[in-house]
Amino acid sequence: MFRRALPPLVAVLTVSGLAACSGGGTDESAAETAGTVERPAAEAIAWEQVVAPEDCECSDGSEYHYWVHRGDADRVVFFLEGGGACFSAETCAPGAGATYTTDLEGRLDDGPGFRGRAADAGLLDLDNPENPLAGASVVYVPYCTGDLHLGTTTQDYGDGVVVEHKGRTNATTALETLAAEFPDAEEVVVLGQSAGSAAAPLYGGLAHDLLPDAEVTVLADASGAYPADELITTAIGGLWGIFDQLPDWPEAAGDPLTAWSLPGLFVQTGEHVPGVRLATINTADDDVQRQFSDRIGKAGTPLAELIDTNNRLIEAAGVDLAWWVGPGDKHVSTADDEVYSDEVVGVRLIDWIADVVAGEDVADVSG
């Protein structure tokens, strides 16, 4: 939880989202029964596609691009998309058995999207008045490298499986665009979902390096179970080239490579960025986190226990962390409009997120 009062945001932030709720043909009482509020149709959110330079690429070496939406120039969201991960010839081989998104083929032409759906729901519904991220500018970072946006290398896994793990290269390029296009941003929210949430705290720290006067908030949704295991960190991190371009942060001087585990990224950024707001969102039996945790040898440990262990590890390092653990097995809580109705112990998730973004003192929530 946040144990100190943080300065309130100058303004509330926005992101564009997946499909908005349909209100066609419903009367007022029906809308109230469904828990929805009718609102006038908004103008379509405009996006600019940025084709990245040649050193940016997807796992198969194909073209990489990202998206920019120009809203409030003072408030910017850096969105890290999810889409699995891979770390062996078996998991990295392209095709039906792949455990990650391999390229950006078939994506929408007029804006970001995932699996044929526009990115305009949940916290990316920029028109929803309840969304604490509404109205902000957005830099949307697609994901196609299997490395949690952390990789910097080409890896030959054998059996003809060669992967361009260039997620860090891709996302860093997009972050540099954010800083160049919005140099006077007063607030930056790094929002990551699934695989994107694993790297979100790192990019919070990197955003601070580029925009040191901006308030930084990190919202990491659906990766809280992956452990700070020394062998896993060094083995998989080595395959992805994570350690080849670690930030040169003075607070991390002398730290071992294992200090850059996934939960360790929260610690590193928490120590590096004064006043950073760090928050994680998970469900106790997330089916996707369960599958990947089993793959890395944690099949015998309840997912809620893995999540709690990481939360305690981060807080034990003296880093302020706000965490939300909801019931059920849903993977990613902020990608659809259930984020506006989900509630645990009387606290709505969207209200909790709004308080985090506003710098309010929030309680940790578990249900």
Q: Domains of the chain (ranges plus CATH)?
A: 41-366 (3.40.50.1820)
How far is residue 276's CA from residue 149's CA, in Å, rounded to a whole number?
21
Report the alpha-carbon distance of residue 228 to residue 183 in Å, rounded: 35
CA distance 70 to 182: 9
Q: 344: how many CB neighbours lie within 10 A of its CB?
A: 16
For residue 74, the SS3 value is strand
- pLDDT value at residue 44: 78
Two tokens at 46?
């405009």
Residue 159: what residue type?
D
Question: Residue 184 region, left (φ>0) first, then alpha (ψ -120 to 50), else beta?
Answer: alpha
The encoded tokens of residue 37 equal 């509020």
Give CA–CA dist 64/58, Å, rounded.
6
Helix (H, G, I), strand (E, B) or coil at 39: coil
How many Cα neighbours within 13 Å face the side chain of 255? 19
Model-wide pTM > 0.75: yes
User: DSSP secondary structure string, 290-356?
Assistant: HHHHHHTT-TTS-HHHHHHHHHHHHHHTT---EEEEESS--S-SSSSGGGGT-EETTEEHHHHHHHH
Q: Give the chain's residues under pLDDT 70.
A: 1-43
Residue type, 302: P
If 0-12 CB within 10 Å is exposed, 13-18 middle and 19+ buried, where does residue 69 land? Answer: buried
CA distance 271 to 266: 8
CA-CA distance, 78 to 68, in Å (whole number)?
Answer: 10
